[in-house]
């Protein structure tokens, strides 16, 4: 999410078992242990200054986040998980929970009263609110309910692709008015509805946000590791795809050829340079916009 700032990995889970509270405790314990045992490579982030420290020490900064907030049984749990290391939480993951509606629900009822109380607790604690997989109304409600800017860490623009995982211009404008930042993904079926889909299409989404609300409100949220999904065993990918509704519109490939592998961010920068983005603008897109957001929301 903040590649230029510190090679940041937001380790996000969409834990969906019968006991998300217990699963989340195990998830955080795993990452705490993994980072601790590999401190020559990774650095755990608790504050924005830790990102600068990771960059100085040439380490990969790890931000612990979750792609669903159904592990918050009550408002006190927000502080508990913050103290355990969680720094960002997506309110819903595709489907309905007690907080609000996901983007794949047939009807979006918006943010619940419980959801409003969870956002208030997140604001008070200093945990970043994320609405990447939320439905349209739930997204708008969350932006309105939050006293501080929020993030759409990994999504795309509905104006360019009619996908439930894309955000409307209304949401992007509303997000920007509150000081939020939207990260653009490189998942093929969220970038373009037809092939060929290339890094040019990815930057089209960056351009759209820039032209709509200004450069300060757009970043990168790749939604994949360096090698992406297509490098995984076919059976694993098929099993993953089977858990989503047809609205995700998966095709033969999930990744974009020139936006995977060790050169993916270099290829992105080359396309930004071709479009006459200045060095300062490129730094903003690659990480500084999100870094500013974290400094303004984290305690």
Domains of the chain in sequence order: 149-299 (3.20.20.140)
Q: Angle CA(115)–CA(117)–CA(122) in degrees, nearest 5?
A: 95
Q: How far is 112 from 80, CA to CA, in rounded Å?
A: 22
pLDDT band at 2 (very low <50, low <70, confident <90, very high): very low
Query: Scanning the structure block, which residue is given the tokens 């604690």?
Result: 125
| Separation of first and last alpha carbons in the chain | 19
Give the alpha-carbon dihedral of 24, 28, 29, 30, to 10 degrees: 100
Residue 8 has pLDDT above 60, yes or no: no
Count Cα neighbours of 98 within 13 Å in the Cβ-side half-sphere.
12
pLDDT band at 15 (very low <50, low <70, confident <90, very high): low
Q: pTM score, two decimals?
A: 0.94
Residue 299: the pLDDT is 86
Residue-wise pLDDT for 273-299, tens only, equals 999 999 999 999 999 999 999 999 998
φ, ψ for residue 239, nearest 5 deg: -65, -40
pLDDT digits over 34-64, tens only? 999 999 999 999 999 999 999 999 999 999 9
Cα 131 → chain centroid: 8
């Amino acid at each position: 999410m903040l590649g230029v700032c510190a090679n940041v990995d937001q380790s996000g889970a969409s834990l969906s078992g019968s006991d998300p509270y217990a699963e989340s405790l195990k998830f955080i314990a795993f990452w705490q242990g993994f980072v601790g045992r590999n401190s020559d490579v990774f650095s755990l982030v608790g504050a924005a200054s830790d990102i600068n420290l990771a960059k100085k020490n040439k380490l990969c900064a790890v931000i612990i986040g979750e792609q669903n907030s159904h592990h918050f049984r009550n408002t006190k749990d927000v502080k508990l998980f913050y103290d355990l290391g969680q720094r960002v939480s997506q309110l819903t993951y595709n489907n309905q929970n007690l907080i609000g509606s996901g983007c794949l629900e047939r009807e979006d009822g918006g943010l619940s009263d419980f959801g409003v109380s969870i956002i208030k607790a997140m604001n008070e604690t200093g945990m970043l609110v994320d609405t990447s997989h939320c439905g349209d109304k739930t997204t708008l409600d969350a932006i309105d309910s939050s006293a501080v800017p929020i993030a759409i860490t990994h999504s795309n623009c509905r104006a360019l692709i009619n996908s439930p995982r894309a955000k409307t211009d209304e949401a992007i404008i509303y997000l920007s008015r509150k000081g939020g930042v939207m990260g653009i993904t490189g998942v093929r079926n969220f970038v373009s509805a037809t092939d060929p889909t290339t890094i040019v299409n990815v930057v089209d989404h960056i351009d759209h946000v820039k032209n709509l609300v200004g450069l300060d409100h757009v970043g990168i949220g790749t939604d994949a590791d360096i090698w992406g999904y297509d490098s995984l065993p076919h059976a694993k990918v098929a099993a993953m795809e089977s858990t989503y509704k047809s609205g995700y519109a998966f095709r033969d490939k999930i990744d974009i050829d020139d936006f995977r592998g060790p050169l993916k961010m270099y290829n992105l920068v080359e396309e930004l340079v071709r479009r006459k983005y200045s060095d300062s603008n490129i730094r903003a897109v690659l990480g500084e916009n999100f870094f500013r957001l974290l400094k303004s929301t984290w305690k």
